[in-house]
Structure 1
């Protein structure tokens, strides 16, 4: 069955839909899966997600509200394919209207918003549920019983070769614990507010503690736009460091993360890249809800600066500052101790 998974947002949302895409496209369901997502970074990594047969990059699916100039090409692209089913991974009524107008016979989504009656299969939402889990539940509406609970991302052989060159060539990949830190917005679409980021000196202090206590090495990752954030971390850093911020493509960064033991970052796509390549992630959340936006899976941890229902009453700058270095260190060392 020709199926399209429609994702609105950016790279974070696209990767959070990865478990659903993998479930639908694993071969046992008999589906051919088209992933309709925003262009740019989201489309680049979407091509490496397990279960994807085709990526359809649509400007109408960016997080900000689209204008009609973007909607018409999206509608034409959907109508031009023999799609029988649409899985709507979006809270936006606009996306339900889009697949309805495209004439797709079966439309599955969460029962949210005024356009929900246009869905043929409505799945009840659950408050505070991780989006990856919520969207994965859409598969049950199709009777799929072989569930893949994690996304799987393959950056590609060229990216893996580049990652090996940088990590092995620098001497960092020598058996030590490798911790990737993304101190900036890290490919968030649209770029995230500075209020979502942890203080640079706290990242440095954490890296220093991990080096002293566990012999860890630090790898700084991010696009060129995060150069200032990486430089600020390095000012207080005493640990061994490989600074790759702005030096690698997104796919190459994903390959580097796949070779790291742990990733620490704020609310950014890097957390979901880590989850999709099989590395543990520690997500730091303040004014946004880590239960919903955090990495999905038992290997990952979310540290919330304030409880989600208080974020509107607490200044957003204090939300991230409530996360202490000791809190993050405990989130890292707790699972390490349990595994011994």
Structure 2
């Protein structure tokens, strides 16, 4: 955001953050030099499901390069299921990060009280370095600085840079997962370790070398197998996920129903509907709109590991941009992602682009990137995506698999 576009409140906050950064820098002990032993590392990622999932390639690389270090990952409790079964860290720390709780704003001093208490806890753990992985997360940068962590790596966002010892240029036109890998490489470079992106700086090659990491576990695999055991026939299983994190990302449920009907008629597909609690209205509308028979509606019948295990058994997953579709990418299944105002370059599927397809109308307006919860559905860029656009890609992906 340019200075001209900042509100008065944002300008005042930026001035205060810069002053706070200078104050914290005074009297701070010298940070370790290159090659210094890294004993305890903190990663801070406040966002939601997809963003935390995009951390897993960098997390795996850091574990491989620092097998002796104690790695702590700080995330919101809402993202805990993404890392609960991950073996690439030692400690999972959950923090109710201000601005990410999706709750009404409360006491304006509450974020700073939380920061002071959390910083006290982090200081006692004596971390050697911290990665602030979201480029504009000033609260995370302030937290790491207040906790006295000697090395603080992040991106040179004006609100975050005052609290960093090592600031990378802000990422422009690159995937969020690639930004995580670049930040990990900055730490590896300073520590004299092999870098993760050596020869793989492009998102296409990096996503193949450093894929998403998610292991559902045996219990989830058994549950998914039992759920899909309710299906009759032998046709390819196609999962349709109608929901998205905000209304403006939604595609028309009637069009999803038409896509499902056509795949049943033309490919013998067996349709499964997935969704979380609260998605019943969306999936119910898709089911009611299908003329070829009732699909298997599994809305609110899986947790996150079970959903990944279920997707692993599918031939294709279709839906608007959502955390569930990114979980399908982690499952290794071909996917079709319907994008409107969100930027697929930065927030698209992190996987093999031949199997993870993005469909968008290619329209641009002054509200591109506006994903505010209050923005209603019905954006022109979503309405412009046609049924035939989706079916053409679906047929291609199913044919490549031999309709398994």
Instruction: Tell me if 1:328 matches 2:381.
Output: no
Q: Please tell me whether the aligned partners of residues 185 and 196 of structure 2 are also in contact (alpha carbons under 8 angstroms).
A: no
Instruction: Provide the aligned C-alpha RMSD in A.
Output: 2.7
Q: Please tell me whether the aligned partners of residues 45 and 133 of structure 2 are also in contact (alpha carbons under 8 angstroms).
A: yes
Map 1:1-340; keep pairs closer than 5 Å.
1=38, 2-26=40-64, 30-40=68-78, 42-60=79-97, 63=100, 67-90=111-134, 91-141=136-186, 142-143=188-189, 144-146=194-196, 149-168=210-229, 170-171=230-231, 176-185=235-244, 188=245, 192=246, 194-237=247-290, 238=292, 241-298=295-352, 299-307=355-363, 310-312=366-368, 317-336=379-398
Question: For each residue in 1:166-186, what CA deviation from the matched residue of structure 2 results, as whole angstroms up to 9, or x when unmatched?
Answer: 112x135x653222211123x
Q: Please tell me whether the aligned partners of residues 342 and 368 of structure 2 are also in contact (alpha carbons under 8 angstroms).
A: no
Measure how far apart 1:33 and its partner are.
2.4
- Larger mean CA deviation between 63-72 and 266-275 belongs to 63-72
Q: Cα 1:292–1:82, aligned 2, differ >3 Å: closer, same or farther?
A: same
How many residue pairs align between the two structures? Answer: 331
CA–CA distance in structure 2, aligned partners of residues 313 and 288 of structure 1: 5
For structure 2, the 5+ residue unaligned runs are 1-37, 198-208, 371-376
CA–CA distance in structure 1, aligned partners of residues 308 and 127 of structure 2: 31
Q: Please tell me whether the aligned partners of residues 47 and 100 of structure 2 are also in contact (alpha carbons under 8 angstroms).
A: yes
Question: For each residue in 1:104-129, what CA deviation from the matched residue of structure 2 results, as whole angstroms up to 9, or x when unmatched?
Answer: 22222222233214323222233221
Measure how far apart 1:27 and its partner are.
5.8
Q: Please tell me whether the aligned partners of residues 8 and 63 of structure 1 are also in contact (alpha carbons under 8 angstroms).
A: yes
Query: What TM-score, normalized by structure 1, do the two folds share?
Result: 0.87
CA–CA distance in structure 2, aligned partners of residues 69 and 206 of structure 1: 50
What SS is found at the alignment partner of 1:67? Answer: helix
Q: Please tell me whether the aligned partners of residues 85 and 107 of structure 1 are also in contact (alpha carbons under 8 angstroms).
A: yes
For structure 1, the 5+ residue unaligned runs are none
Question: For each residue in 1:18-65, what CA deviation from the matched residue of structure 2 results, as whole angstroms up to 9, or x when unmatched?
Answer: 21112212366544322211103x112211235232211110265268
Measure how far apart 1:145 and its partner are.
2.6
Query: What TM-score, normalized by structure 2, do the two folds share?
Result: 0.74
CA–CA distance in structure 2, aligned partners of residues 200 and 30 of structure 1: 50
Q: Please tell me whether the aligned partners of residues 342 and 369 of structure 2 are also in contact (alpha carbons under 8 angstroms).
A: no
Q: Please tell me whether the aligned partners of residues 287 and 294 of structure 2 are also in contact (alpha carbons under 8 angstroms).
A: no
CA–CA distance in structure 2, aligned partners of residues 98 and 153 of structure 1: 28
Q: Please tell me whether the aligned partners of residues 97 and 118 of structure 1 are also in contact (alpha carbons under 8 angstroms).
A: yes
CA–CA distance in structure 2, aligned partners of residues 29 and 123 of structure 1: 25
Q: Please tell me whether the aligned partners of residues 317 and 334 of structure 2 are also in contact (alpha carbons under 8 angstroms).
A: yes
